[in-house]
Chains A and B, each alone.
Chain A
Amino acid sequence: MEEQQIQDFVHRVANDEAMQRALRSDPVSVVRREGFSERVERVILRLVPQLAFAQTMGPSEKWWHA
């Protein structure tokens, strides 16, 4: 299930400094190795700046309270 894959990947990276380093140096290879669908790959790659570089998230879509 794609939701579970994303949740598990975030959990693993959050608790594994070696994975964080690997993501910083070569994110595409790290993510490809996981064998995710193209869709999940795209999502995970969007999260790399936050997962590996501790950047803040992109702006909110503000749909609900817009």
Chain B
Amino acid sequence: MPATVGLEPLRQMLRTQLLRYLATLPTQLRQDTLVALSVEGKLLHQPCEALDGRWALVPFLLASELSTTIYKECVCSAALAVECVLCATDLLDDVMDEDITPTLVQLGTPRALTVALALLALAQRMLLMPGEQDAPAGLSTRLLDALQDALMRASTGQQADLLAEERSACTLNREECLEIASMKAGSLLSLACRMGALCADVDEAQIKQCAEMGRLLGIAAQLDNDAHDLAALLQPSPSQKSDLRRGKKTLPVVLAAHALCELPGQSALTAESMIQQFASLSQDERGETIAALREGILATWGISLLYRERARACLNMLSTDRTFSSNFYHVLGLDEPGAQECSLFAQ
């Protein structure tokens, strides 16, 4: 039986609760918000796929795994707040990157931005709703504080990312790229895990450990995504993502630019231009660029795997006195203990 089959009742419960919150919105705004929350990967997506609603599932499952006495209403609100925040930041990210997504096509940019704003407000409203009477004092405030802190970090990361677009790739280094990934993706997945831990009412050390695990997984995911996006350029029918068109300085682009810069006769300017114009280069011109791109992509993927290893180490520290479920590993995107050896060399 696939691990995700057991997730469906939980997903259904979260969906029902989310629809109750959405029912409080004015009709037009509710309809637009439903569009955004129903795309692939989101909680309301139909027909449901294995990892739809993953951002809400992470905090709920983590809270359930950390404590047998969770405050179900509080954790449900926290999980849905994370889902709404991620949907909002996705919309904002797509608008800033000028991506053409189904939601932006259907709603247009102004309405999509309005939905993002409404989702951020709704997330905060969810956290301020009264939960169980015996929930720890101040839990709502701590959850809200965690959400605002993560949003501030993600905004800082987004700003740094946009400013990096104006710089030459060769003037950026690995640490700067990793810091941006940490602030953007890292802070949001850290939020999902911190929310779960806060609702489980575990001690401060475990809350920090959960948040750090999320941050590391978020960085890993961002690097994995960047490596695969750039790798698509090397396919027989290259697809060029908007990141490259915009001159986004992802880690594989920066590493590839540095590798090209080391070659005789190359400058920072020509290196970057060869990467950005790769799809329109002739076969002869592509040779050196392909080698540099492959190097940047593989080093980035390796560093992504390293961050997954570090996240796993965090999870291992949390699991000294408990066993995490298959569902939880699956939702986090980590192999269960014992499955690691099998996945070595897996394609």
Whether A11 lies near B299 (C-beta < 8 A) is yes
Whether B185 lies near A57 (C-beta < 8 A) is no
* In the assembled complex, B96 has its CB within 8 A of some CB on chain A: no
Whether B189 lies near A63 (C-beta < 8 A) is yes
Given contacts A11-B259, A60-B228, A61-B224, contact A44 B302 (CB under 8 A): yes
Complex Cα distance A46/B308, Å?
13
Whether B344 lies near A42 (C-beta < 8 A) is yes
Q: Which residues of B contact A45 (CB under 8 A)?
A: 344-345
Q: Which residues of B contact A61 (CB under 8 A)?
A: 220-221, 224-225, 333
* In the assembled complex, A39 has its CB within 8 A of some CB on chain B: yes
Q: Which residues of A contact B249 (CB under 8 A)?
A: none
The A contact surface, by secondary structure, is: helix
Tell me, rounded to whole Å, the shortest Cβ–Cβ distance linking A9 to chain B.
8
Whether A3 lies near B178 (C-beta < 8 A) is yes
Complex Cα distance A60/B305, Å?
11
Given contacts A7-B299, A64-B221, A64-B222, contact A57 B228 (CB under 8 A): yes
Q: Which residues of B contact A33 (CB under 8 A)?
A: none
* In the assembled complex, A55 has its CB within 8 A of some CB on chain B: yes
Q: How large is the interface on B (under 10, 10 to 19, 20 to 34, 35 or more residues)?
A: 35 or more
Tell me, rounded to whole Å, the shortest Cβ–Cβ distance linking A52 to chain B.
11
Complex Cα distance A62/B222, Å?
9
* In the assembled complex, B309 has its CB within 8 A of some CB on chain A: yes
* In the assembled complex, B60 has its CB within 8 A of some CB on chain A: no
Among B41, B174, B220, B305, the one with the most A-chain Cβ atoms within 10 Å of its Cβ is: B305
Complex Cα distance A56/B54, Å?
27
Q: CB-CB contacts of B221-253 with A at 8 A, as 1s and 0s? A: 110110110010000000000000000000000
Whether B298 lies near A66 (C-beta < 8 A) is no
Q: CB-CB contacts of A29-66 with B at 8 A, as 1s and 0s? A: 00000000001101111111111000111101111111
Whether A49 lies near B345 (C-beta < 8 A) is yes
Given contacts A3-B306, A6-B306, A63-B225, contact A46 B174 (CB under 8 A): no
Nearest A residue (CB) for B185: A64
Whether B41 lies near A66 (C-beta < 8 A) is yes
Q: CB-CB contacts of B195-217 with A at 8 A, as 1s and 0s? A: 00000000000000000000001
Q: CB-CB contacts of B28-62 with A at 8 A, as 1s and 0s? A: 00000000000011000000000100100000000
Tell me, rounded to whole Å, the shortest Cβ–Cβ distance linking B336 to chain A.
16
Apart from A43-B306, A47-B302, list 15 A-B contacts with CB within 8 A. Answer: A6-B306, A9-B302, A10-B299, A10-B302, A11-B259, A14-B295, A14-B298, A43-B302, A43-B309, A46-B344, A47-B298, A49-B347, A60-B228, A61-B221, A63-B220
CB<8 Å pairs between A and B, sample of 13: A3-B174, A6-B306, A39-B306, A43-B306, A47-B305, A49-B347, A57-B298, A61-B220, A61-B225, A63-B333, A65-B225, A66-B40, A66-B54
A: which residues have CB within 8 A of B?
2-4, 6-7, 9-11, 14, 39-40, 42-51, 55-58, 60-66
B: which residues have CB within 8 A of A?
40-41, 51, 54, 90, 174, 178, 185, 189, 217-218, 220-222, 224-225, 227-228, 231, 255, 259, 291, 294-295, 297-299, 301-303, 305-306, 309-310, 313, 333, 340, 344-347
